[in-house]
Amino acid sequence: MQRLKGWQRVSELIDQRHLIDGKPDIATEINGYEVCQKQVGDCSVLSSLAVAAHYEFKHKWQKKLISWLIYPQDTKGNPIFNPTGKYVVKLFVNGAARGITVDDYFPVNQYGNFIGAYSNRGKLWVSLIEKAYLKLHGGYEFSGSKASRDLYILTRWLPETVNFDSSDFKSEEQWARIQKFNALNKVLITLSTSTIADEDAIGLVGTHAYAVLEIFQYKQYRMLLIKNPWGHFSWKGKFAYGDKNWTPELKQALGYDNFKEDHGVFWMDWESVMTYFRGIELNWDPTLFVY
């Protein structure tokens, strides 16, 4: 890793050493908005983390999907800060659970800044899970993956890839399918792009993975809330912030003003998604297939 200067303990990088919510011994909530990619090429992993964390956020911890992977834990199964800096992250490899031991030393550049992923709320969970995942795959020199595969390793939810240019792809049927199962909280969704000639003009990154945090249909509008794991650089086309296609009704329904700042989270309509993305990756709740 060319930008690597060394390794520092988390206590040397942040003042408040916390795992989830700002208190070392209490865990309350995580969300998909806080996941931020840095210089490691693991956008698929971090999009997967964002989707899974957002699922947990929507359930208000009634159904844990990602936080329960980290040990040590309290009596309620919530991850807690370990002052010795040692953690175990549970991942699912070849169908079986496997504990990956990591410490709280993270790679930094010459300025003492994180090279790996982090939470923009100052939490440890993003960096710990990323480190464990990359350790399983040989280290921070990660060559890339598919988000549906990554989500399977993180959650055991079953992967499926749907290519928009496939001869058997049917737009209306696919929209109805993802809308139905998203409402039932039975599917996790990510997106992937092909090469994009003018990224700056479009506001999308080529050969990149994105997380889908919400799916929403309001009257004739079919909308997806999408997150770039970079934590910045947003879509500039139809229904971007400031675009003329927004109506007062739609702004109110989708919380338009919540996305004024560029944190890499943006709304995009289904037709634009099919135009600018290569395909959609789905991970299905395994209980759908239990008879």
Please, what are the averages of pLDDT over each run of 10 residues along the chain (291 residues)? Answer: 77 59 52 92 96 88 84 88 91 93 91 86 90 94 91 96 95 96 95 95 97 94 97 96 95 91 94 97 91 60
User: In b/e form, how buried is each residue of 21-53, taking b as 16+ CB within 10 angstroms?
Assistant: eeebeebeebbbbbbbbbbbebbbbbbbbbbbb
Cβ neighbour number for residue 142 with a 10 Å cutoff: 18
The set of catalytic residues is 43, 208, 228
pLDDT of residue 24: 42
Spatial CB neighbours of 241, under 8 Å, sequence gap ≥ 6: 234, 256, 259, 260, 266
Distance from C-alpha of 19 to C-alpha of 42, rounded to nearest angstrom? 21
pLDDT of residue 1: 55
Q: Which helix (H) or strand (E) holds 55?
A: helix 43-58
Cβ neighbour number for residue 120 with a 10 Å cutoff: 12
Cβ neighbour number for residue 278 with a 10 Å cutoff: 16
Distance from C-alpha of 254 to C-alpha of 277, rounded to nearest angstrom? 22
> pTM for the complete prediction?
0.93
Cα end-to-end span (Å), the chain: 47
How far is residue 153 CA from its own chain's centroid? 14
CA 139 to each of CA 44, 45, 133, 160: distance values in angstroms, whole numbers, following the listed order = 15, 13, 8, 26
Write out the CATH class of domain 157-289.
alpha beta
Tell me the residue length of the chain: 291
Q: Please, what's the largest Cα pairwise distance for the chain?
A: 55
pLDDT of residue 271: 97
**Residue spans per domain, the chain:** 6-153, 157-289
Closest Cα partner for 182 from 212, 211, 218, 156? 212
Order the strands of the 279-284 sheet from edge to edge.
158-163, 279-284, 187-192, 209-218, 221-227, 265-269
